């Protein structure tokens, strides 16, 4: 989830920004108009070909992502001009696998409010851009009119371009000066209006920002609670199904050995040996369980070293590509580590994969990103209170995003992004 940071509003009406807005509006007045024409052409052609041949679906898909591209460019342009601190637009995705998940992704992108705010801003900028071009034409004509006494011929009047007005030659200089001044004032006014309108469209109000932050924190808190419940259930299950019956067996074996120690010492020794072997196995299981709760190498040597150790212990070959330039917060590193660990465990148990690939990067904006992909049979789904559900909630609890893509037949990929400084 991306949010816009709050802070003091930047000064929109500074001379450099006003001049920059005028120059950009003159450009986008033409460019955005052409872009809107092409996008509407994609829509119309896609609708017609959909009913005729069915191939128009590809054009409709292009229409959706052409809208996204235009909105992304407009948002980046406005933020670069005014420095509002607008979060860059990102493609929307759906966690559902397969064709239905793809359709949901396209629909989610089409209904994305941030994208449509960018489109609205582009439309406003295009309209203001045409007005800017008209004023530039009037201003240039006004400047030219001031030289009429030097260049006049036999004409009695001079036409002010862009207005259709005919001005007597004897008043041409005055009219030219007034037209140029009015055009300059109009350009400044349009630039100021542009700054006000695009800020109202693209930058959420203070109340909306606070409401979004509250929703985000609520989702994080709920995710953390659900992750804790899933983790507690997993620990209880592992103890109940693994260590507990083994320790019960050790106790029973030692009890039998105690009964036979006088009457049959050899049998008692054999029972004690069995109990010793079971005890070592129980210790190993407890260590593995503790490693699933906390790993000391992650704290001591960082995520890169912890993942190297994890890859070395994996029962299937792992290609690890981790490029980390600095440490992140313990919560962020732990979330990514356990996602990778659980994904590798699932691949070994269920996917019939011959190899896994793990890629970890630190991206711009302080984001820790990881992707795990195997070449197995696919078909993994997020089940309530299951392992993948616990991973998703763990990531949500630290303000990140979790994405699973596992079509039947494979491959399976898990992608996670978390704030590095949570």
State the angle between helix axes of 330-346 and 387-397 in degrees (0 to 180), rounded to the nearest 10: 160
8 A C-beta contact, residue 412 and residue 405: yes
| Spatial separation of the C-alpha atoms in residues 324 and 374, rounded to whole Å | 22
| Spatial separation of the C-alpha atoms in residues 381 and 283, rounded to whole Å | 32
The closest alpha carbon to 334, from 226, 420, 225, 412, belongs to 420
The closest alpha carbon to 47, from 68, 34, 64, 25, belongs to 64
Going residue by residue through the chain (422 aa), what tens digit of pLDDT does each one get?
Answer: 333 333 444 555 677 888 888 999 999 989 998 999 999 988 888 888 876 666 777 888 889 999 999 999 999 999 888 887 787 888 887 656 667 777 888 888 888 888 999 999 999 999 999 999 989 988 888 887 777 665 555 555 666 655 666 666 667 778 778 888 998 999 999 998 998 899 888 886 555 555 555 565 565 566 555 656 556 666 666 666 666 777 777 788 888 888 888 788 888 888 888 888 878 777 766 666 655 555 666 777 788 888 888 888 888 888 888 888 888 888 888 888 888 888 888 888 888 888 899 999 888 778 888 899 888 888 877 766 666 777 777 787 777 888 888 887 778 888 888 888 75
Token duo for residue 406? 């596992």
- Sequence-ordered list of residues with C-beta below 8 angstroms from that of 13, at least 6 positions apart, any chain: 192, 195
Cis peptide before 316 (omega within 30 of 0): no
Q: Give phi and psi for 381, each to the nearest 5.
A: -135, 155
Pairing between β-strand 367-374 and β-strand 356-363 as defined by DSSP bridges: antiparallel
């Amino acid at each position: 989830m991306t949010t816009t940071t709050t802070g003091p509003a930047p000064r929109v009406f500074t001379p450099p920004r006003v001049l920059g807005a005028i120059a950009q509006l003159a450009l986008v007045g033409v460019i955005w108009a052409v872009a809107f024409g092409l996008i509407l052409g994609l829509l119309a052609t896609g609708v017609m070909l959909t009913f005729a041949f069915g191939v128009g679906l590809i054009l409709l898909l292009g229409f959706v992502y052409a809208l996204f591209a235009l909105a992304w460019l407009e948002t980046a342009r406005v933020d670069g001009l005014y420095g509002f601190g607008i979060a860059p637009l990102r493609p929307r995705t759906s966690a559902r696998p397969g064709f239905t998940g793809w359709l949901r992704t396209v629909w989610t992108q089409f209904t994305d409010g941030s994208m449509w705010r960018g489109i609205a801003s582009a439309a406003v900028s295009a309209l203001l851009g045409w007005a800017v071009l008209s004023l530039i034409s009037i201003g240039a004509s006004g400047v030219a009119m001031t030289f009429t006494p030097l260049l006049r011929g036999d004409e009695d009047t001079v036409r002010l371009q862009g207005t259709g007005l005919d001005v007597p030659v004897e008043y041409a200089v005055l009219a030219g000066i007034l037209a140029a001044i009015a055009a300059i004032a109009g350009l400044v006014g349009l630039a100021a209006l542009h700054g006000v309108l695009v800020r109202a469209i693209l930058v959420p109000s203070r109340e909306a920002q606070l409401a979004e932050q509250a929703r985000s924190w609520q989702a994080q808190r709920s995710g953390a609670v659900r992750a804790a419940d899933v983790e507690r259930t997993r620990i209880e299950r592992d103890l109940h199904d693994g260590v507990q019956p083994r320790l019960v067996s050790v106790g029973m074996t030692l009890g039998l050995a105690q009964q036979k120690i006088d009457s049959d010492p050899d049998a008692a020794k054999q029972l004690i040996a069995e109990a010793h072997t079971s005890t070592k196995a129980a210790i190993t299981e407890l260590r593995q369980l503790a490693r699933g709760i906390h790993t000391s190498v992650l704290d001591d040597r960082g995520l890169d070293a912890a993942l190297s150790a994890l890859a070395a212990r994996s029962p299937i070959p792992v290609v690890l590509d981790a490029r980390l330039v600095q440490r992140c917060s313990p919560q962020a590193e732990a979330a990514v580590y356990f996602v990778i660990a659980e994904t590798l465990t699932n691949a070994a148990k269920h996917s019939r994969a011959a190899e896994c690939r793990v890629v970890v990067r630190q991206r711009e904006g302080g984001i820790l990103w990881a992707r795990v992909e195997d070449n197995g049979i696919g078909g993994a789904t997020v089940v309530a209170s299951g392992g993948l559900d616990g991973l998703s909630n763990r990531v949500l609890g630290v303000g990140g995003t979790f994405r699973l893509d596992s079509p039947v037949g494979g491959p399976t990929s898990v992608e996670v992004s978390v704030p590095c400084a949570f």
